[in-house]
Chains A and B, each alone.
Chain A
Amino acid sequence: MLAHAEATYPDECCGVMLGAVDELKLVRVAVPLENVAQGSHRARYELAPEDLIRAEREARTRGLDVIGIYHSHPDCDAYFSETDLKNSCPWYSFVVLAVYQGRFRNANSWLPDAEQTKAEKEEMTWPKS
């Protein structure tokens, strides 16, 4: 995910996270997907529904679930923006990666509510090397 976010800079990248939900949500595989947003990708991303369907299928063949969506914010903090919230879905965790000058800086995970009015920050850790 970090590599994808850095490689896509200065555009936004996006993808899905496959894993399992137990007491914790554990991401096993990150699947980069195409950003199909129309126009500039500097501050926009959109997932193709077909890609999501494929990702679901892929997850099932590996015995995993689609547990979240990730995308990057080029030169911008890892908050859940109004645009993110208004186009989100409460079924998944949303990881936002802040990439400044092509270098990953930090990431947060967000869980939006069903009415798309707010998103809760989820505690998140990842291997730092």
Chain B
Amino acid sequence: MAKILIPTPLRQYTEKQSEVSMPGATVGEVLSALTTRYADLRKQLYSDAGALRSYVNVYVNDEDIRYLEKDKTAVKDADTLTIVPSIAGGSTLVAEPQLATELTQEEILRYSRHLIMPEVGVEGQLKLKNASVLLVGAGGLGAPLGLYLAAAGIGRIGLVDFDVVDHTNLHRQIIHGTKDVGRRKLDSAADRMRDINPNVKLDLHEVALTSENALDILRDYDIIVDGTDNFPTRYLVNDACVLLGKPNVYGSIFRFEGQATVFAYPGGPCYRCSYPEPPPPGLVPSCAEGGVLGILPGMIGVIQATETVKLIMGIGESLVGRLVRYDALEMRFREYKVRRDPECPVCGDHPTIRKLIDYQQFCGIPQQVTTRGELDVTEVKQKIDRGDDFLLIDVREPHEYQIACIPTAKLIPLGEVAKRLNEIDPDAEIVVHCKSGGRSARAVEILRQNGYKNVANMRGGILAWSEKVDPRVPKY
């Protein structure tokens, strides 16, 4: 008979006993005996489908049965079984659909100068309280945005950033202080925003926004504010906003000039309508390359913050369809009409972009690939033609060799490479190929690990060879 310790809340089902003994050779049998004897206990421990409930953990002595053999775990007479609930939680994954319908006394005081303007009033302030805004970037534009949107009483603000505060940020990114150098911008910005307004709920996303995560992150917010400093992310934010139907409050800065507007508002233009193509990489310098007047992002970020709260409250005339350009040296604002392009590939009448694409590639930014130790098929052909002294190894299987081969190649299937090193001269120049380049890359690794220094992979394998060198070699 194994002993079972019953947790307090379940003792009402065991005639108030804190310990009971039950027969059985396994945990499953013991529990079965227990829940047969005390039938009401069954509902507490097992779901209707007969599985142990997710919050029920069973320990045999000190061991959790999940790490033993679950309900088949053997039980001896001297063993003690303990039933322990598993308990966890947390404030995120908020399931709080109810909207706030009133302001607290503290909020009434805090927002008093808003409330006494009839254009805002309690109604407008409640809209701000029930709104959620995502700031992409906690840098130059993100700084004034974070400060003012927190102060304005936006209910929930998300921040996306993965950068760390450094000294060169301080002349413009006023949400961060000198003491914050070296900290995550997220933490530094969050501290400042909490200090300004502890009512604001902050979501910190320490990620680079990518095509993989953008929709999931943006989906949770009413309005997206673009404070990015690069073209790939700007197109990504734009496209994601169009696809999700969320307004994109846009701003950008360059040296002494900045611009702002609202993109992706229903019926209005998107960023691509105005800028269908990104500039060639390197043409438009970043702040780091071209410099920027430290005050400039304050001006543009504050325009974005203003547009954001206007959109939320539904007051005034928004920048939808109008692009404001600001020149700090002239101290002049100019306004340009921007229209939705019916031919726009993402927001037009017949969109061709229906999901997020590779924005690095779209913006012509070369991918980081290791090309070290790789040869193009044409280079290999030249080596053969020149009569270079090198060993070409084909690491495919013999049946593949039969289908198509490069005649000068020596066949050593990948699985045999390590065993047949004696056939490979350690001082030779070696080029390895397979069908498309994957297996040969592994072979290159194996050879390098075994001390071969001069080893290269033939990029694209025999398929590339057929494509670019010798079309008579069949593709398979």
Contacts and interface: CB of A to CB of B under 8 A. Distances in A.
A53 B84 contact: yes
B90 A88 contact: no
A83 B86 contact: no
Interface in B238-264: none
Interface stretch (B160-168, B193-201, B226-234, B298-306): B193-201
16 contacts: A37-B88, A45-B88, A47-B86, A53-B5, A56-B7, A59-B8, A60-B18, A66-B7, A75-B198, A77-B96, A87-B86, A88-B87, A89-B55, A91-B7, A91-B10, A100-B198
B201 A75 contact: yes
Interface residues of A, number: 41
Interface in A71-103: 71, 73-77, 79, 81-85, 87-92, 94, 100-101
A58 B92 CA distance: 31
A27 interface: no
A122 to B, nearest CB: 14
Contacts of B64: 49
A75 B85 contact: no
A123 B87 CA distance: 22
A43 interface: yes
Given A83-B91, A89-B55, 16 more contacts: A43-B91, A49-B59, A52-B84, A53-B59, A74-B91, A79-B94, A81-B90, A81-B93, A83-B88, A87-B87, A87-B88, A91-B9, A91-B10, A91-B44, A100-B199, A101-B198
Contact of A82 (B7, B18, B86, B95): B95
Interface string B87-111: 1111111111000000000000000
A76 B8 CA distance: 31
Nearest to A101: B198
B54 interface: yes
Contacts of A107: none
Nearest to B89: A84
B468 interface: no
A102 to B, nearest CB: 9
B348 to A, nearest CB: 38
Contacts of A94: 89
Nearest to A103: B198
Contacts of B18: 60
Nearest to B200: A75
Contact of A75 (B7, B56, B89, B194): B194
Contacts of B7: 52, 56, 66, 91
A5 interface: no
